């Protein structure tokens, strides 16, 4: 966990947060921690909602696109079989390294 020190806060701001913390039955530190965490969570949720809306708009315009992973794998394997003639290579990109000779 990180520690943060904020310098030069106006006294009125600190006093206001102290009063709010006391009214809630928590420490000033806990109140400020909650505020920072809430801001983070709210921002993440807003971003996620924005991304969902963006995705829905794209899917509406283009339709749902199929997963291209199998096509990419197939193309990669074909290219490797055709062009990769380095020793120690096997189909699928797995490298078999020769063992080192020991003296």
pLDDT profile of the chain (103 residues), mean per 10: 92 97 97 97 98 94 89 91 66 60 65
Residue 51 CA: distances (Å) to CA of 9, 48, 70: 35, 5, 25
Tokens 């794209």, residue?
Answer: 58
Tokens standing for residue 13: 């701001």
Rounded (10°) CA dihedral 80, 85, 90, 95:
-100
Structure tokens at 40: 């983070």
- The pTM score is 0.56
Q: List the end-to-end C-alpha distance of the chain, in Å, as a whole number.
A: 50
The span from the CA of 34 to the CA of 73, in Å, is 46
């Amino acid at each position: 966990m990180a520690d943060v020190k904020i310098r030069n806060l106006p006294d009125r701001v600190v006093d206001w947060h102290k009063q709010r913390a006391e009214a809630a039955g928590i420490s000033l530190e806990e109140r400020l921690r909650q505020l920072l965490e809430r801001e983070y969570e709210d921002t993440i949720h807003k971003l996620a909602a924005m991304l969902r809306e963006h995705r829905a708009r794209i899917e509406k315009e283009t339709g749902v696109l199929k997963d291209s992973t199998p096509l990419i794998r197939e193309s990669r394997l074909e290219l490797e079989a055709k062009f990769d003639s380095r020793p120690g290579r096997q189909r699928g990109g797995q490298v078999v390294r020769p063992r080192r000779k020991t003296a």
